[in-house]
Chains A and B, each alone.
Chain A
Amino acid sequence: MATATEQWVLVEMVQALYEAPAYHLILEGILILWIIRLLFSKTYKLQERSDLTVKEKEELIEEWQPEPLVPPVPKDHPALNYNIVSGPPSHKIVVNGKECINFASFNFLGLLDNPRVKAAALASLKKYGVGTCGPRGFYGTFDVHLDLEDRLAKFMKTEEAIIYSYGFATIASAIPAYSKRGDIVFVDRAACFAIQKGLQASRSDIKLFKHNDMADLERLLKEQEIEDQKNPRKARVTRRFIVVEGLYMNTGTICPLPELVKLKYKYKARIFLEESLSFGVLGEHGRGVTEHYGINIDDIDLISANMENALASIGGFCCGRSFVIDHQRLSGQGYCFSASLPPLLAAAAIEALNIMEENPGIFAVLKEKCRQIHKALQGISGLKVVGESFSPAFHLQLEESTRSREQDVRLLQEIVDQCMNKNIALTQARYLEKEEKCLPPPSIRVVVTVEQTEEELERAASTIKEVAQVVLL
């Protein structure tokens, strides 16, 4: 049957050829020839049509002038001349030759010149020397490190802790270890620079929500939920994270953790909490924001803090459940590819932790002092206090800013310089103006420590009042 129809079609075709008009045949013939020609002709890209000769290439190489490696910096740039501290940065500090009371170093618990901490560091120096000469994986793990990790985990009542040798690198390595390209991170606008760098290294989608505004965060989370419903397959593999700080470095405010935990369970996002300023400050025993609010620490997936503020050492740590923390031992870049913390600094941190555990009363004392100076600084004309009343590091901003940031910075620097002349050491909060995502307004940072007496706090407050009145007239 099939062959008969085939034959029939063939006969039809041959007949059609004979019967077709001439112009039709000629047209088809030309088309076929054209196709054959196109098939065999060389293809070329329009851009590459002009090939440069060797001589032209050499000329281009000769002519090219790059920008200078670094643009020149004017000699009187405000950031070029640092305040030089001679001697230890402790309670009474010698800045640029003048002895002042220190309201600028983050020495919250006054442990920088504690003799027990120094003795522990000295004992460690005698046994181990200074450096560790290797990363953790290659004989850089000392028993001191394992001890410190144990103690931190026990203190924070979590399963495991991991130490880094630099505070900045802690959160900047922790975030990219979990959040990769394609994941979504909801982060507060006032997050500190280290968090911003961690997010940039992770290459995830960043969604900023207004500072401490839970309604804005919920709006973003709802939007994301709607997106998820459009593409459920992708949603099943996209991880979500919320990154917040306990006490924000840039504003001195506290994050509303209970609402965050509620949002976490409602929208299934994990919380990373950065507690550099609140570790050793908030809570009955100094355990941070979770103790302050009475939240179960297992509800927070990762707590990261640096040991450079309250613990008066160098480095940082992350703590949480083993399921979460153990991953960083192989994927935390600042952990695997960097030398470990010098043992004398680890020993100093352990001793500082001992002191914190032995006198839990200092946290209440610190809170009281913060409240005192916070009250004393209210009502200065021209300056407003930004930050919680129990935050030991808060800001003084200009009430009415002049239009230009430079002018504001100069005014504040004038205030700082005059306070320095009256033996109160203050500093402006420094930022890299071009690199910050949401640049905070210029401000003076005031730091309260346990070592400051009430008279000194009163004196500082009145000095700032006087100077502000003179400068901001």
Chain B
Amino acid sequence: MEIDVVQWSSAEQSQGREPKQNGKPHFYDKLIVESFEEAPLHVVVFTYMAYGIGTLFGYLRDFLRNWGIEKCNAAVERKEQKDFVPLYQDFENFYTRNLYMRIRDNWNRPICSAPGPLFDVMERVSDDYNWTFRFTGRIIKDVINMGSYNFLGLADKYDESMKTIKDVLEVYGTGVASTRHEMGTLDKHKELEDLVAKFLNVEAAMVFGMGFATNSMNIPALVGKGCLILSDELNHTSLVLGARLSGATIRVFKHNNTQSLEKLLRDAVIYGQPRTRRAWKKILILVEGTYSMEGSIVHLPQILALKKKYKAYLYIDEAHSIGAVGPTGRGVTEFFGLDPHEVDVLMGTFTKSFGASGGYIAGRKDLVDYLRVHSHSAVYATSMSPPIAEQIIRSLKFIMGLDGTTQGLQRVQQLAKNTRYFRQRLQEMGFIIYGNENASVVPLLLYMPGKVAAFARHMLQEKKIGVVVVGFPATPLAEARARFCVSASHTREMLDTVLEALDETGDLLRLKYSRHKKSARPELYDETSFELED
């Protein structure tokens, strides 16, 4: 549908209002509801104090270890290489040795079943304060999974609908042993690429074997020296690596802040390259669809308006939003009711909503042809494995409804319902939640490092719920958080169990920092207020 976007002013940042050309209502008209509440002052003070005390103890322990008073459990350099330049500098590893090591058991937890809504976690204990672990042999069964990126519930153990994958595995095997340019392009890849292009409603698409590598190997092919990259503050490491490897100049704008982006664009177009004042060859804006650490959705309409005005190119990384956002799961462009042809480069991964692995880039045919010839991945890296490609084909057909059922669409809608229910209940309880109300990644702020560890351990051991906690350096130092991934395969009972557990844990650990007023009459919430309105 035609939308006159030139009338947008950058002042309308947090509201999604726009004159409609026809009377069809859609998400675009609704207010974009985001919240990034600030912590109360005492919490911030205590957090920094905690890190300060941890650091002091760290220095003390390092001193003791250095002088041999305390046994050092870490691995050491070989005797023969003792006079080489040390491989690691002491302070580089200070944080790892002294702070991370204390709470290390909350990460890298091994599981031994499919990452569905319930999974089995292998129990492990440590006899020497997390330096080494051993498995007790016991398996904690049926833990509720709030950590895996399984948005549509398509990553589950084998059932009859996966028969095509079994057949492909038996015919094609697992490996490919060649690159796309040489002997590694299978007919399965061509089928998959056509289907991805159809799904996204664009002209062409190309698939790659790894999502991370899709960014780091294709951004250098698109931009080079003399180009400008405007990248969001909180972009994923793969985007940052791709931007650095390209050799272009990188400027960072504040997270999701259209004014900051506009200022950078104006300066770039008016003043050109620094010192030489020559015009930039091209300007590429790098954003993500949904930011997984913040739970925010990109302000796409405003960015598209800016892009058109300043003639820049837009690259969206839809790793967390494809399949999860939008009325039929087509991503942020559908969520805002925009035409996917307006975005120059649509990139995404198949790991999250499709339960497979790999990435894709889609867009106009000349873009994809160029990447077929010049992408680093097409020339030097192995192509995607056939059973993985078949799983993606199966998932795409399922979501698009090409397998003859409407289950795919139902799952997308169930995910949206679950997300809004979960977020609303958490906010009612008084936790600080970041992000957009429609983003299925829910960060819950914990702030203090001690509470981070206590939360994760308590939820697993007492309540049998697996949560993911994240701290420095993936998040700012004082904003450690727990991150929940809502899935379409979570039933209402599972979500209620989790919410009850969170309620109790929140009271136990005093996590309910939010200062917003709680609803006076909570009993009035019923099913209908969480339904989608269309």
* Residues on A facing B (Cβ under 8 Å): 52, 57, 60-61, 64-67, 69-73, 77, 79-80, 82-90, 93, 95, 102, 104-107, 111-114, 117-118, 121-122, 125-134, 136-143, 145-146, 165-169, 172, 178, 192-194, 197, 200-201, 235-240, 265, 268-270, 298, 306, 308-309, 311-314, 321-324, 326-327, 329-330, 333-334, 337-339, 341-342, 344-345, 348, 425, 427-432, 435, 445
Contact = CB atoms under 8 A, between A and B. Distances in A.
Contacts of A201: 241, 244-245
B173 interface: yes
Contacts of A344: 169, 174, 387
Contacts of B116: 129
A139 B183 contact: no
A139 B466 contact: yes
Given A138-B147, A314-B174, A338 B210 contact: yes
Given A129-B115, A131-B388, A166-B209, 4 more contacts: A64-B311, A79-B181, A83-B182, A130-B388
A327 B209 contact: no
Contacts of B260: none
A200 B245 CA distance: 7
A163 B179 CA distance: 20
Nearest to B311: A66
Contact of A169 (B157, B210, B345): B210
B488 to A, nearest CB: 13
Interface stretch (B13-21, B32-40, B365-373, B407-415): B365-373
Given A69-B282, A85-B186, A193 B376 contact: yes
A79 B373 contact: yes
Contact of B174 (A66, A95, A118, A322): A118
For the complex of A and B, the 5 pairs showing the least CB-CB separation, nearest first, are: A166-B210, A338-B212, A70-B370, A168-B381, A323-B75
Given A130-B391, A197-B245, A73 B373 contact: yes
A428 B241 CA distance: 30
Interface string B258-296: 000000001001100000000111110000000000000
Given A61-B269, A65-B311, A298-B78, A142 B112 contact: yes
B30 interface: no
B177 A112 contact: yes
A339 B241 contact: no
Contacts of A236: 85
Contacts of A140: 115, 148
Interface in B142-191: 145, 147-150, 155-158, 162, 165-166, 169-187, 190
Interface residues of B, number: 119
Contact of A139 (B147, B371, B374, B385): B147
A312 B170 CA distance: 14
Interface stretch (B49-57, B63-71, B354-362, B446-454): B354-362
17 contacts: A57-B270, A61-B270, A64-B269, A65-B311, A84-B186, A88-B386, A128-B114, A132-B357, A134-B147, A136-B108, A239-B86, A270-B84, A270-B87, A308-B176, A327-B88, A333-B238, A345-B174
Contacts of B89: 237
B177 A312 contact: yes
In this complex, which of B83, B166, B349, B382 has the most chain A Cβ atoms within 10 angstroms of its Cβ?
Answer: B382
B266 A85 contact: no
B366 A72 contact: yes
Nearest to A145: B110
Interface of B: 75-78, 80-81, 83-89, 96, 100, 107-116, 119, 121-122, 145, 147-150, 155-158, 162, 165-166, 169-187, 190, 209-213, 216-217, 220, 222, 236-238, 241, 244-245, 266, 269-270, 279-283, 309-313, 344-345, 349-352, 354-357, 366-367, 369-374, 376-377, 379-382, 385-388, 391, 466, 468
Contacts of A268: 83-85
Given A85-B187, A240-B85, A312-B174, A125 B158 contact: yes
A95 B76 CA distance: 52
Given A85-B186, A133-B149, A314-B385, A334 B281 contact: no
A308 B382 contact: yes
Given A85-B185, A314-B174, A338-B211, A141 B110 contact: yes
A445 to B, nearest CB: 8
B344 A69 contact: yes
A70 B366 contact: yes
A321 B80 CA distance: 13
Contacts of B373: 73, 77, 79-80
B276 to A, nearest CB: 12
B115 A130 contact: no
A142 B148 CA distance: 12
Nearest to B182: A427
A193 B382 CA distance: 13
A80 B372 CA distance: 6
Given A70-B222, A87-B172, A342-B388, A133 B269 contact: no
A338 B238 contact: yes
Contacts of A105: 176-178, 183-184
Contacts of B179: 430
A308 B381 CA distance: 10
B278 to A, nearest CB: 12
B388 to A, nearest CB: 6
B468 A139 contact: yes
Nearest to B209: A166
In this complex, which of A113, A129, A146, A298 has the most chain B Cβ atoms within 10 angstroms of its Cβ?
Answer: A129
Nearest to A167: B382
A95 B182 CA distance: 11
A118 B279 contact: no
A84 B145 contact: no
Given A57-B270, A89-B186, A324-B87, A122 B166 contact: yes
Contacts of A342: 356-357, 385, 388
Contacts of B76: 323
Nearest to A427: B182
A322 B73 CA distance: 12
A102 B173 CA distance: 16
Nearest to B483: A138
B379 A430 contact: yes
Contacts of B377: 168
Contact of B213 (A131, A166, A200, A298): A166
A114 B351 CA distance: 27
A327 B77 CA distance: 13
B183 A102 contact: yes
Given A128-B113, A166-B209, A427-B182, A66 B355 contact: no
A104 B178 contact: yes
B280 A66 contact: yes
In this complex, which of B309, B349, B370 has the most chain A Cβ atoms within 10 angstroms of its Cβ?
Answer: B370
Nearest to A129: B114
In this complex, which of B84, B349, B350 has the most chain A Cβ atoms within 10 angstroms of its Cβ?
Answer: B84
A111 B173 CA distance: 9
Contact of A71 (B77, B114, B370, B382): B370
A69 B111 contact: no
A93 B380 contact: no
B289 to A, nearest CB: 17
Contacts of B110: 141-143, 145-146
